[in-house]
Amino acid sequence: MHKIIVKRRYKDIFTRKINICLVVLFILTFLTLLIMFLSSKSHPNSDAKKPLYLSLENKVLSSAENKTDDLNSDTPNYNFTHTKYTQLPTITDVRVLNYKTNVVTTMNLDEYVALVILAEMPVSFNSEALKAQAIASRTLTVNLILSGSHKDADICTDYHHCQSFISYDDVVKLYGDAGKEAYKKAKNASLATSGIVMLYDGAPIKALFHAASPSATVSSEAVWGGKVDYLVSVPSVETAANTKDYISDYHFTKDEFLMLLTKAGYKSVTKYASKPLSEFVSQPVRNGAATVDYIMIGAEKITGNKFRSALSLRSADFTIGVDGNTVNITTQGYGHGVGMSQNGANILAKKGYNFYDILKYYYTGIYFGFV
Contact 215, 346 (CB under 8 A): no
User: What's the pLDDT at 259?
Assistant: 97
**Please, what is the end-to-end C-alpha distance for the chain in angstroms?**
74
In terms of phi and psi (left: phi > 0; alpha: psi -120 to 50; beta: otherwise), the region of 265 is left
CA torsion 153→157→163→164, rounded to 10°? 160
Please report how the helices 304-311 and 254-263 are oriented relative to each other, as an axis angle in degrees rounded to 10.
110
pTM of the predicted model, to two decimals? 0.76
Cα–Cα dist 43/45, whole Å: 5
Residue pLDDT tens, the chain, 371 long: 544 444 455 556 556 656 666 666 666 666 655 554 444 333 333 333 333 333 332 322 222 233 333 333 343 344 445 555 556 888 999 999 999 999 999 999 999 999 999 999 999 999 999 999 999 999 999 999 998 878 889 999 998 888 999 999 999 999 999 999 999 999 999 999 999 999 999 899 999 999 999 999 999 998 888 889 999 999 999 999 999 999 999 999 999 999 999 999 999 999 999 999 999 999 999 977 889 999 999 999 999 999 999 999 999 999 999 999 999 999 999 999 999 999 999 999 999 999 999 999 999 999 999 98
Contact between 197 and 139 under an 8 Å Cβ cutoff? The reply is yes
Distance, CA of 332 to CA of 212 (rounded, Å): 9
Q: Where are the domains of the chain?
A: 67-242+337-370, 247-332
Q: What does the radius of gyration of the chain's CA atoms come to, in whole angstroms?
A: 28
Question: What's the rounded Cα separation, in Å, for the pair 371 and 354?
Answer: 21
Predicted local confidence at residue 265, as pLDDT: 96
Q: At what angle do helices 168-192 and 127-147 cross, to 10 degrees?
A: 100
Q: Are strands 103-108 and 93-98 parallel, antiparallel or unpaired?
A: antiparallel
